[in-house]
Amino acid sequence: MLASLCLFVLLVVSSSYGGHRQDTLADEELARDRQPSKWGSLWPLPQRVNTFDVSFKLAAASFQIFDGKASSAGPSCNLLQNAYRRYYKYIFGGIKTKWPSQDKWTDFPQLSGLQVLITDPDSECDLYPSVTSDESYELLVVQPFAILKAPKVWGALHGLETFSQLVYEDEFGAKSINWTEIVDFPRFAHRGLLLDSSRHFIPVKVILANLETMAMNKFNVFHWHIVDDPSFPYMSKTFPDLSQKGAYHPYTHVYTPSDVKMIIEFARLRGIRVIPEFDTPGHTQSWGKGQADLLTPCFAGSKPSGSFGPVNPIINSTYDFMSRLFQEVAGVFPDDYVHLGGDEVDFSCWKSNPDIQRFMEQHDFGKNYSKLESFYIQRLLDIVASTKKGYIIWQEVFDNGVKLKADTLIHVWKGTKQQYQNEMANVTASGYQTLLSTPWYLNRIAYGQDWRGHYTADPQDFQGTEAQKKLVIGGEACLWGEYVDATNLTPRLWPRASAVAERLWSAKNVTDVNDAYDRLSSHRCRMVERGIPAEPLFTSHCPHEYKGI
């Protein structure tokens, strides 16, 4: 018996190891075949790049990033001035020192600076980015100084990141950059990243660090899934009991108004929109702890069971509460959109409640509880529309036939590849704009280089007309928080999210996985050098390894 058990264990272990080894062999083959990309370490790859075999040196003591005389955003534009200091530090380490024996570099052509020119009269320096923001830019690296031109400040921010990625150290350790011409703009207007701060609280400094990393990858939307069943960390001024009673801890695990304001401004300075999600009527167990009578009482037979289900959709106080809460949310979060969720509503509690059963009969809903959900959602959408906000909803709201405004944004997240492709076709055929997340759930991890699957998924890969394809405004990578907190969030996210970033920014025909592997490996090392604990793609080393906290 013991011998048989040992043989069984050996077979299981061998089988498991064999599967891992097979994956490893594939990764080894990819690494072995790695060829230096002609694009260097650019990530995401710009739309058009021309590089020439002429290099210039950059001297920390003399190099400057400065406003062009004709720029509509001058020294008073704090957004750009902050960005200039930030990228100077990324390029030189933040210290203006002379090179040792600097005279020996005088025979080499040098680049004296980077001139930034905002060409539109309204630079939007003091505004918030939006879904219609112009993020294009042009970059020319020639002597005596490089020129970065952009219609708005948002394109200039991306151009600064690209310029910093062009700088490299030559064989002598001198900062160098090649003569380069770039014309660049994003393929999609909405390039988002979802973080979940309910299932595990995410400290503010971790959120800020990942906003910084988002800017390095040209993401432009932080989808903040701020509350959910487990906890309600958003501190509401209108309803303070929501966090006082619904957060994991009312003082240590909440986002104060000043925290939220700081996060929104930090994101704005990096060209990133902050879209909050307050998901209802499901995913609201934490809400009920601080707001009496908001949730539906569940019944066991003819008696209350003591448990609660989704938001109670049949009482007026629910809509009075939602109206006041979303008036506050609209004032706190400046973006044009709020995400209203609407996914995964469990009807079992509604079905058990006799008051809801009578309501269903009175409204001729029969036994179709999707109609009750639609009744609630439609009233909620009217409430949010009254705040002058647009709304994003998960696909179930569309699937259940809720009457939606023409400008509603449908967020697709469910199903296999064939299923989500069909969903994208159906949503766009109905005339709605859409976002894709299904293939980019980064909380689903696998042994090996799963970034390749994220990289090869395309949000316009479905059967539809060109007009339908134009209704796809982008997508989002999602990192749900069941098994993620401050200890592992950042390395689990990066550089896997970077693969999604390139898919949403670069041209549709940028699909060479081997070329991407080389550039992404280098980009990952750049993030590590900048203090981001991005996990490795495979066996390798970085010139500047992560030094820890």
Asked if residue 356 lies in contact with residue 309, where contact means CB atoms within 8 angstroms, the answer is no
What 3-state DSSP class applies to 288? helix
Contact 66, 146 (CB under 8 A): no
Q: How far apart are CA 93 and CA 101, in angstroms?
A: 19
Asked if 499 and 532 count as a contact pair (C-beta separation under 8 A), the reply is no
What HEC string does 2-43 produce?
A: HHHHHHHHHHHHHHHHHHHHHHHHHHHHHHHCCCCCCCCCCC
Both tokens of 364, joined, read 């001729």
Q: Which residues contact 237 (CB under 8 A, 6 or more apart)?
A: 257, 328
What six digits make up the tokens of 142? 């020639």
Contacts of 447 (CB under 8 A, 6+ apart): 20, 23
What is the 8-class DSSP label of residue 181? E
Intra-chain end-to-end CA distance of the chain, in Å: 51
CA angle 451, 454, 455 (to 5 degrees): 85
Q: Tokens for 64?
A: 């400057």
**At 217, which amino acid appears?**
N
Q: Is 45 left (phi over 0), alpha (psi -120 to 50) or beta?
A: beta
CA-nearest of 443, 347, 434 to 394 is 434
Is 135 part of the annotated catalytic residue set? no
CA angle, 530 then 535 then 537, to 5°: 115
Q: Could you say which of 344, 423, 466, 476 is catalytic?
A: 344
- Cα 516 → chain centroid: 20
Query: Quick one: how many helices (H) and strands (E) in the chain?
Result: 18, 17
Relative to beta strand 113-118, strand 64-67 is parallel
Task: Provide the 8-state DSSP code for 200.
Answer: S
Could you give the residue numbers annotated as active site? 344
